[in-house]
Structure 1
Amino acid sequence: MRIFLVWILSPGVWAVKGPKQVTADQGSLLAVSCSYEPGYELNSKYWCRQSFLWFCCTNIIQTSGSEVTVTQGRVSIRDNHTAHSFMVTQSGVTLGDAGRYSCGVKRKLWFSTSHTTRVMVSAAASTTTEGSDVGSSGRGEPPVL
């Protein structure tokens, strides 16, 4: 019970907000915006994939506290101090990218504060025309009038 009370009374516990769930099509760009309370502008912001018991062991990407865009592989993060928000983008989303992630703010004296977002990835729609009656020759040519 004491741990729960300390957690509730800790300042900035709910300092980060974001979407509960986002969905991206396979192969598309995923974009997640998280906001934070004023006062955390110069703190590092991060994006991590949750693993065991909703904990993040390793950040996928992290800012230095500045507004410079940081990119690692397919993922980038950019902080906007004026808007008190940061944007995480990931290109070329795969089905393996689905899962629970945290966007968060690192704090010096307290535990980092974060928000959990569930990322869902939908399979790309098929673009083939096999088996359809698209053209008179069956090769996808327009019908002859």
Structure 2
Amino acid sequence: MQEVPVQRQHVGGSVCLLRLLGGDGHRTVRGFLGGSLLMNCKYWHGDEMKPTFWCKLGTDSDCAADIVITSKNQSMVWRERFSIRDNHAGKLFMVTTEGLAEGDMGTYLCKVQRSTTQREESYGVKVMVSTNTSAAMR
């Protein structure tokens, strides 16, 4: 699969949408202070009942902490300004960040947890936050 960006704008309230369909490397998504980001992360057939994560990378190229995570029994989770909703039929999960702050800048991972014998599937997203609305939507 290959990464395909999808952009959507709301004039009154800021929303950036990014669809991640796999592949290597990081995608960059830009939003603006106080706005929201929505990311769709696609996963493979067979991963529908596995936990999905949104986490921020730490200094050792691994997640410093999981921000939100789903489970087999809980396909939608809210945690402070972050939510994650797993669409098992569509084989994707949507991550939302509301009230963007400068501290939200950094690299995040969309992840699917597999068994201990299988490699975890993850896709990198670099989040940039701008105070300039027109720069954020480029």
Give the TM-score range, shorter chain. Answer: 0.7 to 0.9
CA distance in 1: counterparts of 2:64 and 2:84, whole angstroms: 18
Which is higher, the Rg of structure 1 or of structure 2? 1
Pairwise mapping of residues 89-128 of structure 1 onto structure 2 (< 5 A)?
89-108=96-115, 109-124=117-132
**Which ranges of structure 1 fall in alignment gaps of 5 or more residues?**
1-15, 126-145
**Which ranges of structure 2 fall in alignment gaps of 5 or more residues?**
1-20, 134-138
CA drift at 1:96: 1.2
Cα-to-partner distance string for 1:9-64 (whole Å, 9 max, x where unaligned) = xxxxxxx6287111111101111111001100000000000011321132111001
Q: TM-score, normalised on structure 1?
A: 0.70
More helix by share: 1
Pairwise mapping of residues 1-16 of structure 1 onto structure 2 (< 5 A)?
none
CA drift at 1:110: 1.8
**Where in structure 1 do 4 or more consecutive aligned residues deviate above 3 Å?**
none
CA drift at 1:95: 1.2
Cα-to-partner distance string for 1:66-106 (whole Å, 9 max, x where unaligned) = 46310000000000011110000011001110110000000
More strand by share: 2
Residues 91 and 76 of structure 1, relative CA distance in 2, 3 Å threshold = same
Residue in 1 that maps onto 2:89 = 82
Pairwise mapping of residues 7-46 of structure 1 onto structure 2 (< 5 A)?
17=22, 20-46=27-53
Pairwise mapping of residues 59-70 of structure 1 onto structure 2 (< 5 A)?
59-66=66-73, 68-70=75-77
State whether residues 75 and 87 of structure 2, in contact with CA within 8 Å, keep that contact through their aligned partners in structure 1. no
Q: RMSD of the alignment, in Å?
A: 1.8
Identity percentage over the alignment? 35
Q: TM-score, normalised on structure 2?
A: 0.73
Residues 55 and 119 of structure 1, relative CA distance in 2, 3 Å threshold = same
Tell me the matched-pair count: 110
Name the amino acid aligned to 1:30. Answer: L
CA drift at 1:114: 0.6
Of the structure 1 ranges 105-114 and 87-96, higher mean CA displacement relative to structure 2 is found in 105-114
